[in-house]
Amino acid sequence: MTAPNTPEFSPLGKPAAYKAEYDPTLLFPIARQGKREEIGIHGTLPFFGVDIWNAYEVSWLNLRGKPQVAIATITAPADSPNIIESKSFKLYLNSFNQTKLADTEALLALLRTDLSLGFGATVQVILTTADMFSRQVIKEPQGLLLDRLDIEVTDYQPMPTLLKTDRHAVPVDETLVSHLLKSNCLVTGQPDWGSVQIHYIGTPIDQEGLLKYLISFRDHNEFHEQCVERIFMDIMQHCAPQKLSVYARYTRRGGLDINPWRCNFSGPPPSNLRQARQ
């Protein structure tokens, strides 16, 4: 397993030379545990899940020097010890640009090996080649839209005390959606835009409070995966649902989008369908 690093030493916010030939050392893993301890996660994880990465700028050369293109989907388990910093991920993928490979299987083998080493766990990699591009579907997440609510907002740092529920109400099974999630990169402060889908079974969450809470991430600096885990833990601690799933779809940066999903009940993983903003 590749040794993890700390965010301040990542390529983020620094000039970087783009290498056009294969270089797996460009990947920059960062341990998950440090940020998890901030939100009270110690020992056994209170959820399972995945981080779904979609890479839209994947290109390499065939053995005759002709460029090839594809979309790569990488699925990393939430219990992997590391995340990979996104700029380093982009630099790594760009290192294939002038690399000759026999076929897509050769590319897949390198991606699976290198990324599994970086995340510290086995990852799944799927390539969508150009002949399949026309089959790509755009679909918005299903659920009751929180953004319909006319609210006044004053908090722009995570405010979990906004999360409330009537513990005496009859439990419900609901899916709620908001497109107003925004946070900022932990290192550069650049904005990260996302949509979030929350599925829970339990006493009803106050919807206005939940929307205000999600908006309160607007000035918060944290990586995508960390934001989703913070949302999951805050809802569990303040609303105590019997079952909870949090799934965020972030818009892409540098040809990459990251879509973390955390859940504490059995069921199929979420769809990887693109949204309009992706």
> Which entry of 51, 114, 192, 257 is annotated as an active-site residue?
192
Q: Per the domain annotation, does 276 fall within a domain?
A: no
Residue 24 and residue 130 in one domain = yes
Here the CATH number for the domain that contains residue 202 is 3.30.1130.10
pLDDT of residue 23: 97
How many domains does the chain fold into? 2
Separation of alpha carbons 268 and 83, rounded Å: 22
* Residue that is last in its domain, among 82, 105, 135: 135
Name the domain boundary from 135, 154, 187.
135
Q: What is the pLDDT of residue 14?
A: 57
Q: Specify whether 95 is located in the same domain as 120.
A: yes
**HEC assignment per residue over the chain:** CCCCECHHHCCCCCCCCCCCCCCHHHCCEEECHHHHHHCCCCCCCCCEEEEEEEEEEEEEECCCCCEEEEEEEEEEECCCCEEECHHHHHHHHHCCCCCECCCHHHHHHHHHHHHHHHHCCCCEEEEEEHHHHHHCCECCCCCEEHHHCCCCCCCCCCCHHHCCECCCCCCEEEEEEEEEEEEECCCCCCEEEEEEEEEEEECCECHHHHHHHHHCCCCCECCHHHHHHHHHHHHHHHHCCCEEEEEEEECCECCEEEEEEEECCCCCCCCCCECCCC
Q: Which of 83, 106, 135 marks a domain boundary?
A: 135
Query: Same domain, yes or no, for 227 and 251?
Result: yes
Specify whether 175 is located in the same domain as 241. yes
- Active site (annotated) includes residue 227: no
111 and 219 assigned to the same domain: no
Per residue in 243-267, pLDDT tens?
999 999 999 999 999 999 999 999 8
Q: Do 156 and 91 share a structural domain?
A: no
Catalytic residue among 23, 150, 173, 185: 185
In a domain, 123, yes or no: yes
In a domain, 269, yes or no: no
Q: Does some domain include residue 2?
A: no
| 278 located within any domain | no
Q: Look up 185 and say whether it is catalytic.
A: yes
- pLDDT tens-digit profile of 90-128? 999 999 999 999 999 999 999 999 999 999 999 999 999
Q: Which domain holds residue 205?
A: 144-263
Do 191 and 214 sit in the same domain of this protein? yes
Per-residue confidence (pLDDT) for residue 5, from 0 to 100: 76
Residue 185 lies inside a defined structural domain of this protein: yes
**CA-CA distances (angstroms) from residue 275 to 4, 184, 250?**
32, 20, 9
- At 1 the pLDDT is 54
Distance, in Å, from the CA atom of 201 to the CA atom of 223, rounded to the nearest integer, reads 27
Say yes or no: 123 and 196 in one domain. Answer: no
Tell me what pLDDT residue 8 has.
63
- pLDDT, residue 3, reads 59
Q: Are residues 82 and 101 in the same domain?
A: yes
Asked whether residue 272 is assigned to any structural domain, the reply reads no
The answer to whether residues 102 and 154 belong to one domain is no
Residue 13's pLDDT is what?
Answer: 59
CA distance 111 to 127: 10
Residue 60 belongs to a domain: yes
What is the reported pLDDT for 20? 81
**Residues with pLDDT less than 70, the chain:** 1-4, 7-16
**Are 202 and 120 contained in the same domain?**
no
Indicate whether 130 and 148 sit together in one domain.
no
